[in-house]
Amino acid sequence: MRLHKSTTSANYNPSREILRGVSWSILMRWVVRFIGVISTLVLARLLSPEDFGIAAMGSLVIGLLFAVTESGAASLLIRAKEFDQAHCDTAWTISLLQNIFIGLLIIVLSPIAAVYFNEPRIIEVLHILAISVFIGGVSSIGPTLIRKELKFDLDFRYSIYIKLSIFFPTIGLAIWLGNYWALVFGNLIGTIINVLISYAIHPYRPSFSFVRGSEYLHFALSIIPMQIAYKLHEMAPKFIVGGIGSANIMGNFTVSSDLATSFTHEIVSPIGRGLYPNYARLMDDRDQLTELYIKILGVIILLVIPMGVGVSVTAADLVASLLGKKWDMAIPLIEYIALSGILYAITFIMYNQILVAAGRERQAAILAWIRLLITVPILWIGLSLEGSLGLAKATVVAPLIYLPLVYHEIRQVVNLPILTIAKVSWRPILGALVMYLSVKLLHPESIDWAILRLISDAVFGAGIYTITVIGLWILSGRPQGVEHLCVNLIGKKIKKFSEINCNNS
């Protein structure tokens, strides 16, 4: 493979490329989420909260080990302005050795995990998951190269293939086995298929190499502290509840967290996926970077606030429709975790991608550790006061404390006055409040079916939010901003649709 250079020519349009990448990523994540919702709907009725809890314990252990051994090889490969075959081979070699090391650690630490979770069944589960990790180590880095080359359509197809490769085996095994082993072996089968697809999706073929090892080591030393803190922060609530609760409580909290934050997460995750390679290209033009950053932040705030509030206010019908009666314990948890998902999403989009793209890994790591040190004590206090419900409430409190620190660090990269944040957020916040109160007051209790009540509340709430935000925007004098962009975009679509109808006539 000859030397490659990232495309930074006059033909590169950052707005177009970011929109293209984000659009593909959002489509990908929502299709994946749709598959996930169907999977949850089916599995929640075939399996118990205890089954989900045991599988979640195994996933937490693996997630922790991957976090503390993170090399950041994929991130460096994407960020590198120039790369060759040796860069790719070294990244693949590091990933292979990382998986081998983690697989061995899983086997060694499985008895300790059983003691911590007070669940002896987790030992055998971890042994099977270790096999998945070993197999996953030989995956090609072709999917990473696809992202670097901005081939988001291929990235979309790859993600769908991966999701389906787990979906069908897991559903089939759940029908056959009826317990947590369906989740474990479904993951194993999915990993095997994932490896095959990773080679089919891109022509790159790996070789064992350490030629560029020093570059990756330098980058790893800067990014590992941040990745560890970030992953620990993400897993902290589940680890805390897992250490003091049963598999049943663990299952309820895990599924509650996944369901409550899935809608907001499925907005910010694909956007972050599309932003990172483009942020890296815009670091030499801070004015353009700032302009795009503010637009993206405004879009996120406009979308995730009503999404999180909507999940919170419809939690009872959401659980009844998707999970069933045996998951009623999840309802109050979802009501609070959905709100924390809003704050998590805003924090994620504010600093997760841009600081690394700007080469400020050290500052991002310090911020991530401060965030973790603030969060864990608050979670413990919440758990001590009200059990798992108190823990769910604490997930809302913690982000409110560390958000000012995130804002301070971001100001070092982009020009983001506090007044700008207020301008892009006050209308969505007020609109979501009106939506929440309206849905609460006018909830259709007379409808017997939970799914119909859920649809009714969702449509009604979305309408109230849209009318409120647009109304406030008009009363404010139609200022330039996210609402202006959305109204113009909708207007263009309507005009285009009308022209097509006229031509057909």
Query: What confidence tens digit (pLDDT) does each residue in 107-119 have?
Result: 999 999 999 888 8
Higher pLDDT, 103 or 45: 103
Own/partner pairs, 280-287, CB within 8 angstroms, 24+ separation: 280/78, 280/79, 280/357, 281/6, 281/8, 281/12, 281/14, 281/17, 282/14, 283/357, 283/358, 283/359, 286/413, 286/414, 286/415
- Residue 302 inside a domain? The answer is no
For residue 482, being part of any structural domain is answered with no
Q: What is the pLDDT of residue 420?
A: 86
**What's the rounded mean pLDDT across residues 362-373?**
86
Whether 175 is covered by a domain: the verdict is yes
**Is 11 a residue whose pLDDT tops 60?**
no
- Which residue type occupies 300? I
Task: Work out the angle between the directed axes of helices 49-68 and 247-281 (0-180°, nearest 10).
Answer: 40
Q: Which of 34-43, 78-87, 88-97 has the lowest mean pLDDT?
A: 78-87
- Read off the pLDDT band of 206 (50, 70, 90): confident
Kindly tell me if the per-residue pLDDT of 228 is higher than 60. Answer: yes
Once rounded to an integer, what is the mean pLDDT over residues 147-153?
A: 71
pLDDT in the model for residue 161: 85
> What pLDDT sits at residue 323?
85
Taking 60 as the threshold, does the pLDDT of residue 12 lie above it? no
The model's pLDDT over 249-260, given as tens digits with 9 standing for 90+, comes to: 888 888 888 888
Mean pLDDT of the 89-97 span = 85
Residue 9: its pLDDT value, please? Answer: 47
pLDDT at residue 1, rounded to an integer = 44
Question: Is the pLDDT assigned to residue 29 strictly greater than 70?
Answer: no
The pLDDT-based confidence of 16 (bands split at 50, 70, 90) is low
Q: Does a structural domain hold residue 138?
A: yes
**pLDDT score of 467:** 93
Q: What are the helix (H) ranges across 245-329?
A: 247-281, 286-313, 315-322
Burial grade of 418 (CB within 10 A; 0-12, 13-18, 19 or more): exposed
The reported pLDDT for the residue numbered 18 is 57
- Lowest mean per-residue pLDDT among 280-294, 337-351, 397-411, 435-449: 280-294
Banded model confidence at residue 356, pLDDT cuts 50, 70, 90: confident
* Separation between Cα atoms, residue 172 and residue 176, nearest integer Å: 6
Compute the average pLDDT of residues 132-141: 89
pLDDT, average across residues 309-322: 92
pLDDT, residue 19, reads 58
pTM of the shown model: 0.76
pLDDT at 13 over 60: no
Average pLDDT over the chain reads: 82
pLDDT of residue 6: 45
Q: How much is the pLDDT for 412?
A: 83
Range 387-392, long-range pairs (CB < 8 A, 24+ positions): 388/241, 388/245, 388/249, 388/252, 388/253, 388/333, 389/332, 389/333, 389/336, 391/237, 391/240, 391/241, 391/253, 392/237, 392/253, 392/256, 392/332, 392/333, 392/335, 392/336, 392/337, 392/340
Ranges 46-50, 162-166, 426-430, most confident: 426-430
How many domains does the chain fold into?
1
Answer for the pair 174, 42: CB distance below 8 angstroms, yes or no: yes
Residue 157 domain flag: yes
Percent with pLDDT over 90 in the chain: 29
Instruction: Return the pLDDT at 8.
Output: 45
**What gap in Å lies between CA 223 and CA 484, rounded to an integer?**
38
Provide the 8-state DSSP code for 141.
S
> How far from 475 is each of 427, 482, 491, CA to CA, in Å?
11, 15, 19
Look at 323 and 176; give whichever has higher pLDDT.
Answer: 176
pLDDT at 2 over 50: no
* Residue 208 falls inside a structural domain: yes
pLDDT band at 379 (very low <50, low <70, confident <90, very high): very high
Q: Which is higher by pLDDT, 416 or 31?
A: 416
Question: In this predicted structure, what is the pLDDT of residue 5?
Answer: 45
Q: Has residue 457 got a pLDDT over 90?
A: yes
Please give the structure tokens belonging to residue 281: 């290209």
How distant, in Å, are the alpha carbons of 20, 73, 146, 277, 305 from that of 151? 10, 19, 5, 11, 30
Asked, for residue 167, whether it belongs to a domain, the answer is yes
Domain range spanning residue 178? 11-222
**pLDDT higher than 90, residue 134:** yes
Q: Does residue 28 lie in a domain region? A: yes
What integer pLDDT is reported at residue 100 of this predicted model?
94
